[in-house]
Chain A
Amino acid sequence: MPSQGAGAGGIGPGGPRAPWVLLAVVILAFVMLAVAGGPLALRTERPYPSRPLGLEPEPALLPPPPIDDEYFPCEDCHEEESADPKVRELDEHDNIELAHGDLWCLDCHDADQRDLLHLSDASPVEMAESWRLCTRCHAKKIPDWRAGVHGKRTGHWRGPKEYWTCVVCHDPHSPLFKPLEPRPPPKRASEIQLRIYGEQEETSDEEP
């Protein structure tokens, strides 16, 4: 049996035929390799500069919340020691649209330390760390925000990046996202064709 001879590797009764079988297999393999590696598959001759992975996580920056300089610091106007806790119309702040559940100013702003916010247990919170206050109610958003999937990040996917905090995108007084004016729509294919062949079409229209 020829297969036995090939399997024996050229030793034994099938010996004389085995080298030919081996040679044929080797030639066939070379031909296949040449075809696969030749014109059918381009290879990069120039080695790509390989770069190792960077260290993660990189330090993150929190962009400051958008605070209106005209109104902040609050203590410039609110000099009195304690605020009037009565819910009422505030003429000085009629530019603020308050549409955040049933919240009133002093639910978030501290009545005694006017430049600070406070948590429900009355512990103070800096304006720059307002997300600590937001997440007291919106705790479900924390894992997604920490992972970078809720909210926005800019900078580097691998490297220093900015994590946008709640109030950068959501106005805390009226957190629902406001509609935006869209940028212009794309041109239709027919409009683009007219612009490319416009001149020829005009001349052909005039001829008949």
Chain B
Amino acid sequence: MKNPERGARGASRREFLKTAGAGLGAVAGVPGAAQGFDLESFFQRHFRELTQEDLDDLLLRLEQKYSKQYRKPVQVGAIGPNDGVVFGYGLDISRCIGCRRCVYACIEENNQSRDPEIHWIRVLEYEREHAVRSIDPDEGNPFYDHDLVPAEGKLYLPVACQQCENPPCVAACPTQATWQEPDGIVVIDYDWCIGCRYCMAACPYGARHFNWREPEIPAEEINPDTHIIGNRPRPHGVVEKCTFCIQRTRKGRYPACVEACPVGARKFGNLLDPESEIRYLLEHKRTFALKAELATNPRFFYFYG
């Protein structure tokens, strides 16, 4: 619409691909050929290069695919960033009790693979005595298993994507499949990710996770409210991570982990709004960032409430 020439070219390209795809199927003589190998998705452009028409086509194609796969209507949205909003997150480590309610709320909201399992949030357990001196996310124990939490003398530190202002993962990606959006959320185009995992090596927080196998999510557990660069079901062989619940937060809602926390340790809001919860805690509480010495400038702040 902004560029009619490009729009027209895009349309003719799509028509060509459709005909070519049908032709290939006919030549191969296999009825399922057009389904298994889709020329349109093969020639699909990077998310940020898609015209509005291309994007609408892509969303429709994905919705049809997922709705069929999970036998219920699945919506794939592409809601953009809000004007004047940069998201920030606060976590009160003096309150976290390590119950992992956030971990599972995240899995359900964001359609993480149940098998092989992927957890975007890891809750790390520390000896309280040691943690007073320093908290290193490389040293905590995520595998603790107690009958009741908090366990005596322990401290808990949930870690997910820190949504760095200066994200090393974005710099490492050879295909520009991951980038930072204007509202600060670092996202991944799952169709451009080649699965090289350089970003995982670059991330100092271990926040990125790889789909080693076709992810498995029971159809009855799929969250049908999805975002194309967020929680839509991922293909095999791509990297994924926390997106601050992009499908919720861009519509003004709190992330799922904030709502799941039974002790109210999780805070979320707009860093550019002086009246927001996140600004209040930055101004009134002692805050710190993980591995601040790396100058990644996380927009995820830990604080003592």
Contacts and interface: CB of A to CB of B under 8 A. Distances in A.
Interface residues of A, number: 47
Interface centre among A42, A156, A159, A192 (most CB of B within 10 A): A42
A156 to B, nearest CB: 4
Interface stretch (B14-22, B29-37, B68-76, B97-105): B97-105
A93 interface: no
B270 A157 contact: yes
Q: In the complex, which range does the number of interface residues on chain B fall in?
A: 35 or more
B187 interface: no
Contacts of A169: 262-264
B182 to A, nearest CB: 7
B17 to A, nearest CB: 19
A153 interface: yes
Given A44-B48, A53-B84, A192 B305 contact: no
A159 B119 CA distance: 29
Contacts of B103: 183, 186
Contacts of B145: 182, 184-185
A185 B122 CA distance: 9
B280 A148 contact: yes
A46 interface: yes
B78 to A, nearest CB: 9
Contact of B150 (A57, A179, A184, A196): A179
B83 A185 contact: no
B143 A56 contact: no
Contacts of A187: 116-117
Contacts of A143: 284
Contacts of A52: 83
A188 interface: yes
Nearest to A150: B305
A158 B281 contact: no
Contacts of B179: 42
B264 A152 contact: yes
Contacts of A57: 275
B267 interface: yes
Interface stretch (B131-139, B197-205, B226-234, B249-257): B249-257
A4 B284 CA distance: 57
Contact of A182 (B146, B270, B284, B285): B146
Contact of A144 (B97, B273, B305): B305
